[in-house]
């Protein structure tokens, strides 16, 4: 009789050899391994028994599966029956009982779960009311009862929000803004004195037009800037460094005070010293005074450069006297300001001026810690066709290195390359060093803060959060308008900053004194600038940066200034009589203000020809520049930015036909009541007066 191996039996039955060995062992047949053998009869008997066992097992499994399927079908029929029964009951139940049932269930769930409302420091009253499910007017009423005067778009204080939330059954939790959470990781402890090292001063040159600012900058740059090796050509990047006796000075190539003000308005106070350039032959001029006002508002020390001393009619002592009258007193006269007599054109006195700047820097003790991640401010930014978004950054503290990941404004990037003011690629830039950065995802704005972060993930999160917040909120510096001042009980005003402009210089002092005398315990009047001429963009920028309002006497804003004021939400008020402003503030303080009188400009026309009509007077041939002209409307005649007459339109015609209305882009003839001194080039402003009841 032949022999059969164990693994051969296992293959025929499609089972494991170990199962064959175990089964044979139970029958008393010992097999050591799958290579072991048994006789053919034993093998056949084993295979028959195994097949019978397998068939029986299959029948049992099939029976259990059928029973399970039957049970599932029975359960499905039961569920369908219950669902159908519930639907029939729902249809038969009156609606009022169903609503009551839902309300009870919802109330029970709310009682089981504590209600929590989370707010950040930038949550408005409207957003808070929406979160707790209460009408905004009701929340404002509750706040009023607590003595908190807010509008729906004002930010709500945490303590007041907590009281209101508790009254409506909510628990208040202060939630840190996501951006603040991310930036908290970047918070750096104040540097120890031993880690601080001297840094170069950052200087801005300011002054009146044609007094030599640009010539001075060109002279300093030409003689003091270290020339690059590639042909001695330097690259303008908005700022540059000069070397004086082994020490460096950083000059911002933005000499105009307008740029200085705009950066200060963004909160970017990056200038340490201001060089005020005054011509020795002209003396103190209007923009000189404006430059002084801007420097004082930013609390930046002034070093005076009296320029053009080489001219025959130069009078430096007269300039010193004029500046002293305006509060800029020379050191030799007992003041705090350093003076230098220079000639930017001939290079006279430049060394003395730069020494004064370094001396002022020593007095300020300018220091910074270079051994940490960099922080800085964007000076200028642009989209370069070849290099993409590029920004010039002034490092304020720390050291910026190539490859650093950073956040700047609402964008971010990685410093692919750093280029200094000479056009050379550098590996790092320390405090007060201007550097051009490549590798930004988008073009930032001038004045944006630049911060190095740990990795690109954090930078991307912060940038996205800032971009989202910029869309949601229009956060601006708090400004006090006359409407707020004149609304009794609505807001406690501590200080009202004012910019005053008049038509002639003789009125400036009188108006300033009259306004200053209005200061009281409740309202302090702070005149930050007073001058003559039309209200211009510089005045609006200064007012916006300082949270001030602008008051004009017998002068008007230019069209550009009016548009900018509207964009920046700067309040401009014009008066013909000083007592009108005084009366308004006095009435406001007593809470007895009459309905507000508003002036609405409806159109502007330009006089292009003048006709003298016998027995009728002078008729102005005009072109409507903007808006439209209506008969019997009030008008004011403006000549050389000054108001020369105010009255009413006596007649309005087109092609000898009397008309009621002439829109923009059309010509017309008009006659002003009791006024015949109309001249070609005059601008006639058409306006109406309306009364608006105060809320």
3-state SS assignment for residue 571? coil
d(CA 88, CA 403): 71
pLDDT at position 192, please?
A: 63
Q: Do 435 and 419 form a contact (C-beta atoms < 8 A)?
A: yes
Classify the C-alpha dihedral 215-221-227-231 as positive or negative.
Answer: negative
Per residue, the 3-state secondary structure of 414-473, as one string, reads EEEEEECCCCCEECEECCCCEEEEEEECCCCCCCCEEEEECCHHHHHHHHHHHHHHHHHC
pLDDT, one tens digit per residue, over 463-480 is: 887 776 665 554 344 455
Q: Determine the average pLDDT of the residues in 403-420.
A: 91
Residue from 491, 478, 556, 550 nearest 522 by CA: 491
User: For residue 143, what are the contacts with CB-CB under 8 A and spacing of at least 6?
Assistant: 125, 149, 150, 156, 160, 164
Please report how the helices 136-145 and 125-132 are oriented relative to each other, as an axis angle in degrees rounded to 10: 110
**197 vs 509, residue with greater confidence:** 197
CA 410-411-416 angle, to 5 degrees, is 155
- In which band, very low, low, confident or very high, does the pLDDT at 623 lie, cut at 50, 70 and 90? very high
CA 248-254-258 angle, to 5 degrees, is 140
d(CA 224, CA 242): 5
pLDDT at position 490, please?
A: 46
The DSSP call for residue 1 is -
What are the structure tokens assigned to 515, written together?
């306004």
d(CA 446, CA 343): 32
Name the residue ranges covered by the structural domains of the chain: 1-103, 116-175, 200-365, 375-472, 482-594, 597-692
* CATH T-level fold of 1-103: Arc Repressor Mutant, subunit A (1.10.10)
d(CA 267, CA 570): 17
User: For residue 692, what are the contacts with CB-CB under 8 A and spacing of at least 6?
Assistant: 595, 596, 597, 598
pLDDT at position 483, please?
A: 56
Q: Which position has the token pair 């001038």?
A: 446
- 414: pLDDT strictly greater than 90: yes
Q: Determine the average pLDDT of the residues in 316-321.
A: 91
**595 vs 571, residue with greater confidence:** 571
Q: Measured between alpha carbons, how far apart are the two ends of the chain, in Å?
A: 118
**383 vs 551, residue with greater confidence:** 551
pLDDT at position 38, please?
A: 79
The DSSP call for residue 228 is P
d(CA 565, CA 447): 20
Q: Do 404 and 415 form a contact (C-beta atoms < 8 A)?
A: yes
d(CA 576, CA 645): 11
Ranking 218-222, 449-453, 645-649 by mean pLDDT, the lowest is 218-222
pLDDT at position 532, please?
A: 77
Please report how the helices 537-546 and 286-297 are oriented relative to each other, as an axis angle in degrees rounded to 10: 20
How many CA within 13 A on the CB side of residue 107? 6
One-character DSSP codes across 46-90: HHHHHHHHHHHHHHHHHHHHHHHHHHHHHHHHHHHHHHHHHHHHH
What are the structure tokens assigned to 632, written together?
């019997």
d(CA 264, CA 542): 9
pLDDT at position 266, please?
A: 44
**Percent with pLDDT over 90 in the chain:** 17
Ranking 278-282, 553-557, 560-564, 678-682 by mean pLDDT, the lowest is 553-557
Q: Determine the average pLDDT of the residues in 283-293.
A: 84
What are the structure tokens assigned to 397, written together?
């503290």
- 265: pLDDT strictly greater than 50: no
- CATH number at 200-365: 3.40.50.300
Residue from 48, 57, 50 nearest 23 by CA: 50
pLDDT at position 230, please?
A: 36
Name the CATH architecture for the domain at 116-175.
Orthogonal Bundle (1.10)
What are the structure tokens assigned to 239, written together?
């700022």
- 407: pLDDT strictly greater than 80: yes
The DSSP call for residue 595 is P
pLDDT at position 520, please?
A: 66
**Mean pLDDT, the chain, as a whole number?**
79
User: For residue 229, what are the contacts with CB-CB under 8 A and spacing of at least 6?
Assistant: 424
d(CA 451, CA 441): 15
CA 638-642-646 angle, to 5 degrees, is 50
pLDDT, one tens digit per residue, over 124-160 is: 888 888 888 888 888 888 887 777 777 777 778 778 8
3-state SS assignment for residue 126? helix
pLDDT at position 107, please?
A: 53
- 504: pLDDT strictly greater than 60: yes
Ranking 171-180, 274-283, 284-293 by mean pLDDT, the lowest is 171-180
pLDDT at position 437, please?
A: 93
- For 375-472, give the CATH class: mainly beta
Q: Which CATH number fits domain 597-692: 3.30.70.1230, 3.40.50.1100, 2.40.30.10, 2.115.10.20?
A: 2.40.30.10
- CATH number at 482-594: 3.40.50.10050
Residue from 288, 104, 139 nearest 210 by CA: 288
Please report how the helices 17-26 and 40-92 are oriented relative to each other, as an axis angle in degrees rounded to 10: 110
Give the total residue count for the chain: 695
User: For residue 134, what are the contacts with CB-CB under 8 A and spacing of at least 6?
Assistant: 168
Beta bridge partners of 642: 555, 639
Domains 375-472 and 597-692 share a fold: yes
- Residue 531: how many other CB atoms lie within 10 Å: 20
Residue from 671, 674, 680, 678 nearest 631 by CA: 671
Residue from 447, 435, 347 nearest 399 by CA: 435
């Amino acid at each position: 009789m032949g022999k059969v191996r164990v693994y051969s039996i296992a293959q025929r039955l499609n089972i494991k050899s170990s199962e064959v060995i175990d089964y044979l062992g139970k029958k008393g047949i010992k097999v050591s391994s799958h290579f072991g053998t048994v006789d053919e009869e034993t093998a056949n008997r084993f295979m028959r028994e195994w097949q019978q066992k397998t068939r029986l097992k299959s029948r049992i499994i099939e029976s259990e599966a059928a029973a399970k399927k039957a049970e599932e079908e029975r359960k499905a029929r039961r569920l369908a029956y219950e669902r159908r029964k519930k639907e029939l009951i729902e249809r038969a139940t009156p609606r009022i009982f169903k609503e009551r049932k839902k309300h009870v269930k919802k109330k029970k769930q709310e009682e089981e779960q504590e209600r929590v409302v989370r707010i950040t420091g930038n949550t408005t009253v409207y957003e808070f009311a929406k979160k707790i499910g209460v009408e905004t007017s009701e929340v404002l009423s509750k706040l009023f009862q607590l003595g908190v005067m807010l509008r729906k778009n004002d930010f709500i204080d945490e303590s007041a929000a907590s009281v209101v939330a508790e009254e409506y059954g909510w628990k208040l939790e202060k939630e840190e803004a996501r951006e603040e959470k991310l930036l908290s990781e970047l918070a750096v402890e104040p540097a120890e004195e031993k880690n601080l090292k001297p840094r170069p001063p950052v200087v801005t040159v300011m002054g009146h037009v044609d007094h030599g600012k640009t010539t001075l900058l060109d002279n300093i740059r030409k003689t003091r800037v270290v020339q690059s090796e590639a042909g001695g050509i330097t690259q303008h990047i908005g700022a540059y460094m000069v070397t004086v006796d082994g020490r460096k000075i950083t000059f911002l190539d933005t000499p105009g005070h307008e740029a200085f003000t705009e950066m200060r308005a963004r909160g970017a106070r990056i200038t340490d010293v201001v060089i005020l350039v005054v011509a020795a032959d002209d003396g103190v001029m209007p923009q000189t005074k404006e430059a002084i006002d801007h420097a004082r508002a930013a609390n930046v020390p002034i070093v005076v450069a009296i320029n053009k001393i080489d001219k025959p009619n130069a009078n430096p002592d007269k300039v010193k006297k004029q500046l002293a009258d305006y509060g800029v007193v020379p050191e030799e006269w007992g003041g705090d300001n350093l003076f230098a007599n220079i000639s930017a054109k001939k290079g006279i006195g430049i060394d003395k001026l730069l020494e004064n700047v370094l001396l002022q820097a020593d007095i300020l003790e300018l220091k910074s810690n270079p051994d940490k991640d960099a922080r800085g401010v964007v000076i200028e930014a642009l989209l370069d066709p070849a290099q993409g978004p590029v920004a010039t950054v002034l490092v304020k503290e720390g050291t910026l290195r190539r490859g650093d990941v950073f956040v700047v404004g609402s964008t971010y990037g990685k410093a692919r390359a750093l280029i200094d003011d000479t056009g050379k690629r550098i590996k790092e830039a320390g405090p007060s060093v201007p550097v051009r950065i490549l590798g930004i995802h988008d073009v930032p704005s001038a004045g944006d803060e630049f911060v190095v972060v740990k990795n690109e993930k954090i930078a991307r999160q912060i940038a996205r959060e800032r971009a989202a917040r910029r869309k949601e909120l229009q956060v601006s510096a708090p400004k006090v308008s006359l409407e707020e001042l004149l609304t009794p009980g609505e807001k406690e005003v501590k200080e009202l900053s004012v910019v005053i402009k008049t038509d002639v210089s003789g009125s400036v002092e009188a108006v300033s004194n009259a306004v200053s005398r209005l200061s009281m315990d409740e309202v302090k009047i702070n005149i930050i600038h007073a001058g003559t001429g039309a209200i211009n963009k510089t005045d609006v920028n200064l007012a916006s940066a300082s949270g001030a309002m602008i008051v004009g006497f017998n002068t008007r804003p230019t069209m550009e200034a009016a548009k900018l004021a509207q964009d920046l939400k700067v309040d401009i008020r014009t008066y013909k009589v000083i007592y009108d402003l005084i009366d308004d503030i006095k009435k406001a303080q007593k809470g007895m203000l009459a309905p507000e009188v508003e002036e609405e400009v409806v159109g502007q026309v330009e006089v292009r020809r003048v006709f003298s009509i016998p027995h009728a007077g002078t008729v102005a041939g005009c072109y409507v520049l903007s808006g439209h002209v209506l008969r019997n409307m009030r008008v004011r005649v403006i000549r050389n930015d000054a108001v020369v007459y105010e009255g009413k339109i006596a007649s309005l015609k087109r092609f000898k036909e009397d008309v009621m209305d002439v829109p923009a882009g059309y010509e017309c003839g008009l006659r002003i009541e009791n006024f015949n001194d109309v001249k070609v080039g005059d601008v006639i402003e058409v306006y109406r007066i309306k009364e608006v009841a105060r809320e």
